Structure 1
Amino acid sequence: MCGIAGFINRTESREEQQQILSSMVAAVSHRGPDGRGFHVAPDVALGHARLSVIDLSYGSQPMCNEDASIWITLNGEVFNYLELRKRLEAAGHVFRTKSDTETVLHAYEEDGVQCVDALNGDFAFALWDSRRRQLMLARDRLGVRPLYYTMRGDSLAFASEVKALLQLPDVNAELDPLALDQAFTFWFPLAPRTPFRGINELPPGHVLVAVDGAITTKQYWRLQFLPQSHDARPSRRCEEACTAELRDLLLDATRIRLRADVEVGAYLSGGLDSTVTTALIRLTGTNRLRTFSVAFESDEYDETRFQREAADALQTDHYAILCTARSIGEAFPKVMYHAERPILRTAPAPLLALSALVRDAGVKVVMTGEGADELFAGYDIFKEDAVRRLWAHHPSSRRLPLLLRRLYPYMPAIQSQPQLYLEAFFRPSTAPDADPFFSHRPRWATTSAIKLFFSDDLRDALAGYDAVEELAATLPPEFASWHPLSRAQYLEAAYLLPSYILSSQGDRMAMANAVEARFPFLDHRVADLAARIPPALRLRGLTEKHILRKSMGHLLPTNIANRPKQPYRAPDAACFLGPEMPGYVHDLLSPAAIEDVGCFDPSSVAKLVRKCAGRPTVSCRDGMAIVGILSVQLLHHLFVRRGAASSVSSPMAGVA
């Protein structure tokens, strides 16, 4: 894992280009503290900040082929590089290193831009072909690794993170109103849009080719579900076949992700997904395994009991870090510096602390369970959709309150007043069969309430704009033919997963501390299989991840194998508005600061702060509003103003 940066067709002198490139690489050096490399030639500059994981001695980048006509800088890993290497050597290619990066070079020589089809990994790379005077950018299928770019005339610049692009003398950060509207609807801007005007994100599963000032992008992979009529009632034989294939694929996905010349650890939250990942590592024959987790002071969020049970059963050396509301509030500016996008929950902050624990333990690589909820229907939103569809077709059913109690076993208020919550949150507002977004309407309505705090200027900039229409235009043409569960899962896996979960909680929070996170569930072979598994085997009644439990349950403690999903959550408003309010919160949420940034209405924000301050409990909607507004204020301070406001208190000063 590393940080990459570079550009083509800049007009500055070679010395000036070297200085610019050096600044860009320095901006992402937290991703790769083990070394820096540069290649500057006519029309191209490539940079690399290295985290050495494979071929520690000879894997430095940028790397070139034998005649130095092709150069590459790569972030991430290609896990099937050993298998690819055998094929390429048989075709006559000669290797000088043992690195996966060189495998991509030779694969490009053999297959051109189509080489990405053969790569199994989490990667983002830039490849310069001097013979064709062509720059190729590529991003892995599920969007694990980030890649941004910007155009200025004929010049194109790219980087692993936005902050590197801001080192270019002609690139400035300006918040994009449409991106803010999308973020406060869906939780994320729709790629290629980013929160910053003129800075683009290469979407997952895409390649970009730049030649002579013109760029073309092409999608080489996407998640493809089967039509709704396929295996509506799967047979036992079908279930057994899916169970066996999933077990074999997950084991192989884990096996190839253990390829490293450094120690590999694992995150162990105590839930099904991370415990499966840890059990699979154990199944490969790994001797000592160190696992890591977050503990909370509040029982509402803490899962320590399950973490200890899993660690004991799987015989790991387990480490945990305690996160408090105060520590989360203090860390939030650093979270925003690395996330580079609006955030609606504080959940990334404990993961930032967790990766610091891993780094301090001397571990560079961790395996983690992200992706299982999206691919195997683990989130509440999928079960909520089923309940709402039942309500729409059978509004007087007596099963509804009972189903709601089963849906939220971890929420005491719903256990005592299910009918109240049914009326408030579950009554369908649209016809389920006519609305392709039926599953996500309640979430989007809750999030969109934050837009009530938008300033008049921002509202004017958004006049006539409909974010949902823009999302609809990006859907695959066969989307409507899929089962409702498959449609809901696609919205999570193709959009929310890369654009919010992985970007704000996965890659970014791990790489902030130079820790490479690897995700066996996000092996594209596993994703392809999940999309072929009948919906009834992904979600059986209100039992999430049925097929995953069936295929992996025998490896787990019974208590964890049968445990209902408990969402990963952390305290929100209490981190910022409690008795130990961080100084920067007071400064950035002051009416003057709100007016200065211009995205929100100062009077409305002041009322929200007064409403939430000092309260022992804050509604979900108000908590999201506090976090979301503060995140935008921090984005402006850190990137638009570049941290220049002297009035902002510590701990802001040392963040950027």
Structure 2
Amino acid sequence: MCGIAGVLHADPKQPVDPETLVAMAAIQYHRGPDGFGYRVEKDRGVGFSHARLTIIDLDENRGRQPFASQDGNLMLAVNGELYDYKRIRTELTSRGAKFRSKSDSEMVLHLYERYGLEETLKQMRGEYAVALYDRAKDRLMLIRDRFGVKPLYWTEVNGKIVFGSEIKVLFAHPDVPRRFNAQGLYHQLMQTVVPGTTAFDGIHQVKPGHVITFERRHGKFEIKDERYWDMDFPLLSERGEPEDDEVYIEGVRRELMEAVQLRLEADVPVACYLSGGIDSCITLGLSAANQQSPVKAFTIGFDNKDYDETPIAKEMAESVGADQDIMRLNADHLYDNLVETLWHAERTIYNTLGVAKLLMSRHVNQAGYRVVVTGEGSDELFAGYPAFRRDMFLHGLDHMDPAERASWEQMLAESNKLFSGAMLAENELDDPALSDLVGFTPSCLQPWLATAAHVPGLMSGAMREQVQGYEPGRAIAEALDGDMIEGRHPLDKAQYVWIKTMLEGQILTWGGDRVDMANSMEARPPFLDHHLAEFATKIPPSMRIRGRTEKYVLRESMKGLLPKVLYEREKFAFMAPPAHTDPKKWAAMKALADEYLSDEAIEAAGLLDPAGVKALFALHEAEDTSASTQVQLDAVINHMIGVQVLHSHFVAQDVPALARRKAQELGWAA
């Protein structure tokens, strides 16, 4: 687990500055505090750098990246973990490969040399972001894992490609402009980001399951963006008659057990995150079954009982003999650490869960751990979110009789109260572009599309002018692949849209990698193993949601592992309490707003409109504003503070100078 960076000039005669590469590594020191490396191909105008976190092969010199092939043709930098690597190494060694390290990352070189890119991608299993330069073909390849667990950004500027694991890595290069994009600002204020985009002008993400190839042609770049994997649900016409329930139950059990076993492989101790949900409890239970010594389990406890899951987490920890460590958080702890969290997240966040996760990763690191197994991805594969139940009910159960429909309506109304305004819209919303693409507007996007009504009034005049007539729902729809949606079951469609938007843009960024790696802590999500995911696409919708029970097939597959209270429990989204639910938290939020949303701060950044900001606060505090609307407006306030903080971090601050100073402090030099 590491951070990568690099530069490729359109003119191969243009040299890459080694000091800039080192600075790009230094600014992501938190991703790799155990050392750095860089490599420059002087006659090819290309160079990579790398900040290393040692997890596999602890030898400082042997595992140092970037790697190069023996003949000097290939250069490689990897961030992440590749599983099942021992089997692959054995096979490659039998075919004459000579490894210089015990690292899982090095095998990419040997796979590519012998089998080419297509077969290499098939063999890569895990969470990774990869940069690979092929000298013979004069080709740079940027590869991102199938779900986007690991981040990877790039930009083209002044005749060069600049890439890195984080946006600040690109900003550490002095030629990369640091300014907000008007459409990016729009989406930061409404939460849902268009896949492949960021808040900043010219800064792109490599999409999950994609390879971007850069080849030089007559002093210019030929850029190809190709998908190598997707969550491919079967067409309704191809599903046929379902198998017996036990086929799916046993299949989930088999694939998940293997995924967990692979993610326990490390040269350092591996712990677990444990909430009160079935997902993290399952990963803990399976981890405990695979280890002889007690598993270390880390739990976050909130001071608001409506959001606190520690009682159930304790029961699970006791049932498997885990060594549980509970970190209690008070409401006023969270906003105190929001500014730091946004430095790492590099995007706005609607809920202070991201702050809680950052504090937890720090706690885990201080306890001597740098790897945890987590439960992310379970809801995406097995339809665990309330939005999926709503879409299943509204669009996938047309055959229900009136009595059954009334029962569902009552159940949804009761179980969705806590999510209204955040994970579910208060009122049904239809977006024409998304409805044209999907057949309906997915419930997971509706609360954020609802907030879009507030956004133009919040933007400064200059920014607002640039988004006149802009339709955020259409922009999201146009970024999705209609071929992967057309002809699928409504539940499949809803899950696919969530995976491409909320999972990658939220859960795996400010709820995952960015706040975990802020403290040099690697999170491994076995539910996002692509072998398990491919099996999950074949599971009938009625096995994912059966009656009132979400994730039915997963519950049944792990029935003997889970305590009864957890097996029978409905889905509970892991969130921090919204600001307005606690006077201390509201006061802490207002203190930040006084600093970052003052008229002076707003004028200096040029992003927001002071009158619009004041009007939104007035709406939040109005007596006739509903609780659900307050939850929604809490999110918008967090986003307003967030864009101002991001401006101070990345636009107002001299990031290249900061990166150079960091390199000097660390003693890292070219």
Q: TM-score, normalising length from structure 2? A: 0.88
Residues 1:408 and 1:349: Cα distance change in structure 2 (over 3 Å): farther
Question: What CA distance in whole angstroms lies between the structure 2 residues aligned with 1:76 and 1:584?
Answer: 35
1:202 to 186, 199, 206: 206
* 1:251-266 equivalences in 2 (<5 Å): 251-266=257-272
* 1:270-281 equivalences in 2 (<5 Å): 270-281=276-287
Per-residue Cα deviation, 1:294-340 (whole angstroms, up to 9, x for no partner): 10111121111011111111111111111222111011111111111
**Is 2:649 the partner of 1:641?**
no
- Aligned AA for 1:279? G
Which structure has more relative contact order (CA 8 Å, sep 6+)? It is 2
Residues 1:428 and 1:467: Cα distance change in structure 2 (over 3 Å): closer
- Aligned AA for 2:651? V
Q: Tell me the residue number matched to 1:171.
A: 176
Q: 1:391 deviation in Å?
A: 10
**Is 2:631 the partner of 1:620?**
yes
* 1:78-93 equivalences in 2 (<5 Å): 78-93=82-97
Residues 1:308 and 1:641: Cα distance change in structure 2 (over 3 Å): same
Q: Tell me the residue number matched to 1:30.
A: 30
Question: What CA distance in whole angstroms lies between the structure 2 residues aligned with 1:429 and 1:518?
Answer: 35
Q: Tell me the residue number matched to 2:229.
A: 221
Q: Tell me the residue number matched to 1:564.
A: 570
Q: Tell me the residue number matched to 1:73.
A: 77
Moved more, 485-494 or 8-17: 8-17
- Aligned AA for 1:467? P
8 Å Cα contact 1:404-1:414 kept in structure 2 = no
8 Å Cα contact 2:7-2:16 kept in structure 1 = no
8 Å Cα contact 1:388-1:428 kept in structure 2 = no
8 Å Cα contact 2:380-2:495 kept in structure 1 = yes
Question: What CA distance in whole angstroms lies between the structure 2 residues aligned with 1:303 and 1:134?
Answer: 50
**Is 2:101 the partner of 1:131?**
no
Q: Tell me the residue number matched to 2:427.
A: 425
**Is 2:357 the partner of 1:351?**
yes
- Aligned AA for 1:55? D
8 Å Cα contact 1:192-1:200 kept in structure 2 = yes
Question: What CA distance in whole angstroms lies between the structure 2 residues aligned with 1:244 and 1:382?
Answer: 24
* 1:454-493 equivalences in 2 (<5 Å): 454-473=459-478, 474-493=480-499
8 Å Cα contact 1:191-1:200 kept in structure 2 = no
Residues 1:280 and 1:112: Cα distance change in structure 2 (over 3 Å): same
Q: 1:342 deviation in Å?
A: 2.3
Residues 1:532 and 1:56: Cα distance change in structure 2 (over 3 Å): same
SS of 1:54's equivalent in the other structure is coil
Sequence identity percentage:
35
Residues 1:614 and 1:54: Cα distance change in structure 2 (over 3 Å): farther
- Aligned AA for 1:289? V
8 Å Cα contact 2:396-2:490 kept in structure 1 = no
Per-residue Cα deviation, 1:321-380 (whole angstroms, up to 9, x for no partner): 112221110111111111111222221111011101110110010000000011100000
Question: What CA distance in whole angstroms lies between the structure 2 residues aligned with 1:414 and 1:34?
Answer: 41
Question: What CA distance in whole angstroms lies between the structure 2 residues aligned with 1:477 and 1:14?
Answer: 42
Corresponding residue pairs, total = 634
Residues 1:606 and 1:393: Cα distance change in structure 2 (over 3 Å): farther
Moved more, 468-477 or 244-253: 468-477
8 Å Cα contact 1:263-1:365 kept in structure 2 = yes
Residues 1:84 and 1:536: Cα distance change in structure 2 (over 3 Å): same
Question: What CA distance in whole angstroms lies between the structure 2 residues aligned with 1:153 and 1:14?
Answer: 12
- Aligned AA for 1:346? T
* 1:12-161 equivalences in 2 (<5 Å): 17-42=17-42, 43-57=45-59, 58-114=62-118, 115-161=120-166
Question: What CA distance in whole angstroms lies between the structure 2 residues aligned with 1:401 and 1:24?
Answer: 58
Residues 1:52 and 1:570: Cα distance change in structure 2 (over 3 Å): same
Which consecutive residues of structure 2, in runs of 5 or more, have no partner in the other structure? 656-670
Q: Tell me the residue number matched to 1:499.
A: 505
8 Å Cα contact 2:430-2:440 kept in structure 1 = no
- Aligned AA for 1:600? L
Q: 1:113 deviation in Å?
A: 2.1
Q: Tell me the residue number matched to 1:629.
A: 640
SS of 1:158's equivalent in the other structure is strand
Q: 1:140 deviation in Å?
A: 0.6
Question: What CA distance in whole angstroms lies between the structure 2 residues aligned with 1:272 and 1:471?
Answer: 31
SS of 2:462's equivalent in the other structure is helix
Which consecutive residues of structure 1, in runs of 5 or more, have no partner in the other structure? 416-421, 645-656
> What is the aligned-residue RMSD (CA, Å)?
2.9
Question: What CA distance in whole angstroms lies between the structure 1 residues aligned with 2:490 and 2:73?
Answer: 49
8 Å Cα contact 2:303-2:328 kept in structure 1 = yes
Residues 1:167 and 1:117: Cα distance change in structure 2 (over 3 Å): same
Question: What CA distance in whole angstroms lies between the structure 1 residues aligned with 2:388 and 2:288?
Answer: 31
Question: What CA distance in whole angstroms lies between the structure 2 residues aligned with 1:423 and 1:39?
Answer: 50
8 Å Cα contact 1:176-1:197 kept in structure 2 = yes
Moved more, 9-18 or 292-301: 9-18
Q: 1:287 deviation in Å?
A: 1.8
